[in-house]
Chain A
Amino acid sequence: MMPLARLLTFCLSIAIAVPASARPVTDDTGRSVNIPDTPRRIVVLHEPLLGIPLMDLGVEIIGAYGRGDAGELLSAVDFTRATLGDGAQSALPRGIGPFGNINIERLRALEPDLIIGTEYDAAQADLLSTIAPVYLQNTGSGRVRGFEVESDLAGLLKREKALEARKAPYEARVDTLTDEVTNALPGNRFLAVIVHDQINLVGNTSGMVQALEDLGLKREDIEGSVSNAPGSNFAAPISAELFMQLDPALLVLMNSYMDTAQGEAAVRARLDRIAPGWDRFMKPAREGRILYLDPAQVTSPTVASAEHTLTAISDWLSAQE
């Protein structure tokens, strides 16, 4: 009996000692990284852009930038809860230091086996690589579009099936809504704007843009716009004068996510201050071709955000009838 017990102990110790198999991948900045085949302790350096797509795929993250030591949010808006609702992971990701100041000791204490950052984290990649493999994923407009970030991460972590399962009901809803949208919006152009202290065109990296484009709508082409310039993840300013001259088939309006008040009244009040009379001057406003969205729900590059957009479109179409 003893030799068998020893053999079992030996086999067990071998199983524990041998690290999970790793495979080489090239990240979006061209770095070669060896990542574990099945990473179990992932830390993300941008929760809305990287953490939410992973959670949407059913991947749990153990740490994220922008959270406190106990997992409490350090920012005003909970993009994760707003986007995923009950689908968000129950165990809060732990924080790795305040914004702009990663605490590498705290990060190491989490014992991550994979760190995923954006292309903007290239400067700190070497330092963080001393803790765990660092994979840098493109997130900026011009480099990725719609929910491509989620697709890319699904490919990286071999979660393609989870992505397909996630996309199937979404695509079914798109098929149902496309004809209705085409009939209701013959011009088929959309303009998405988020209003902070100024009016900003929304970039291409979001579930919202994916949903609108999947419904057959095309982005309003604005001459001189920088919204498609590489590097612009989310928003690029546009003058109030130019904004008021535009006549897209669908005007998508979002209030600043820093504002606790969301919805039609809040965004209208903010726009009234920046572009007084916009609702009397702009054709989409006069004709009721405005879709009001909550940026915390629709701006992550996920299928979940795209679904929120479809729900809003569906509600808007119902209201038109």
Chain B
Amino acid sequence: MRLTRALDTRPVLRFEGGLDLRLGNLAAGFGLALAILATALWSITSGNTPVGLSDLISGELSEEQRFALMYGRLPRLLLGLMAGWCLAIAGAMLQSLTQNPLADPGLLGLSQGSMITIMVLLLFLPTAPAALIPVAGLVGGLLLLVILRLLLGGNVADGLAILLMGIALDTVLSAITALLVLYTPTEISMAVSTWLAGSLYLSNWPQVLGLSPWAALSFPILVFGAPILRPLDLGDDRATAIGLNLTRVKPVLLLAAVLLTSTAVSAVGPIVFLGVMAPHLAQFLSAATGRARLILSGLMGGWLVLLADLIVRTGATETTIPLGLALTLLGVPLFVITLRLRMLRILLQS
């Protein structure tokens, strides 16, 4: 292992096996991991039942404390972390796939596909087992992928075509969602509206276990998929010149993004803008490509969801703040500030 400088003069750790680690990425990763740890500790020690750090360290928890942690706070924390991780990674992948920094699972209609099938289930089978919800979300996401594939025809490798068709599908599905909410009984549509705004309040261990394999799917994506994203970031022509078969690679990556999005949406509801916001915030912390970009985006996504849920849980005890709204309230100012700072940095450099 030796410390050298990359072409852009930034320090990089080069390992014998060919692995390169930028020090900036490493520091950002550690920073985000620490932030997640701190937020997680803050989250599990906040709530109606007092649970102190000393209680956690000593392990001597009362029945109430054990209940609060095991049935309320821990499943919520883990589910939020995994959902944020999945959605942010899906967002970062889609941005490389479409070569558009605005691409987001929501913008491409991927979230809507899952939402529609979950809503149909909630509306027409309100007493259906909760275990069917992830299945419905997955089926919806995959159906949307099939429709998108059919609509794209021979343009499966065209990033702009994917984006435009996705937006068109998203618009149609949003209209259907609105119709479903409008013409259903109030008591059901209220529950659906709450879910549509994103929520972690019904988190439980079966949900955590249900989402875990799909969150784990992100690791093979990191190993095998992330290196492909780097040439894709350079543009279709250069990626093809390097030898990438775009007609084969892009649908596979899109499928991976659909799987991550559908399962996350079925767990916490559609969280808009996270797929755009997290990769950009991560990129601001430390410019990265390939695996590092996905990992930093995932960590940022998970951290943002944890922070948003902390606001939901502790911010107002008598008012419902949907998770999506809390995330927007928290993330958008951060997003705007980082964009301004980035512009300022570019100005100073020039």
Contact = CB atoms under 8 A, between A and B. Distances in A.
Given A106-B48, A119-B126, A101 B201 contact: yes
* Contact-residue size bin, chain B (C-beta under 8 Å from the other chain): 20 to 34
B290 to A, nearest CB: 39
Interface stretch (A122-130, A213-221, A269-277, A306-314): A122-130
A176 interface: no
B71 A119 contact: no
Contacts of A231: 123, 126, 184-185, 188
A123 B185 contact: no
Interface string A117-139: 01110111011001100000000
Given A95-B318, A231-B185, A234-B187, A126 B67 contact: no
Given A109-B48, A119-B127, A123-B202, A101 B187 contact: no
A152 B71 CA distance: 31
A120 B71 contact: no
A68 B194 contact: no
Contacts of B67: 105, 108, 130-131
Interface in B43-71: 47-49, 64, 67-68, 71
A10 interface: no
A237 B319 CA distance: 28
Interface in B195-209: 199, 201-202, 204
A69 B319 CA distance: 12
B201 A102 contact: yes
Contact of A127 (B71, B184, B190, B320): B71
B199 A100 contact: yes
B191 interface: yes
A105 to B, nearest CB: 4
B183 A98 contact: no
Nearest to B206: A126
B185 A233 contact: yes
A203 B188 CA distance: 14
B72 A104 contact: yes
Tell me whether chain A's interface is mostly helix, strand or loop, or mixed: loop
B317 interface: yes
Contacts of B71: 104, 127, 130
A262 interface: no
B183 A237 contact: yes
A235 interface: yes
B130 interface: yes
Interface residues of A, number: 37
B126 A120 contact: yes
A84 B48 CA distance: 32
Interface string A52-76: 0000000000000000110000100
B131 to A, nearest CB: 10
A105 B318 contact: no
Contacts of A281: none
Nearest to B194: A100
A259 B153 CA distance: 53
A29 interface: yes
A67 to B, nearest CB: 9
Interface string B130-173: 10000000000000000000000000000000000000000000
Given A95-B318, A100-B190, A231-B184, A127 B202 contact: yes
A99 B201 contact: no
Contacts of B204: 126-127
A236 interface: yes
Interface string B175-192: 000000001111110110
B130 A98 contact: no
A140 interface: yes
B126 A122 contact: yes
Interface of B: 47-49, 64, 67-68, 71-72, 123, 126-128, 130, 183-188, 190-191, 194, 199, 201-202, 204, 312, 316-320, 322
The 6 closest A-B pairs by CB, nearest first: A100-B194, A105-B48, A98-B320, A232-B185, A100-B320, A122-B127
Given A98-B317, A105-B48, A108-B64, 17 more contacts: A69-B317, A74-B318, A98-B316, A101-B199, A101-B320, A104-B72, A105-B49, A105-B67, A109-B48, A119-B127, A120-B126, A120-B187, A122-B130, A130-B71, A131-B67, A234-B185, A234-B187
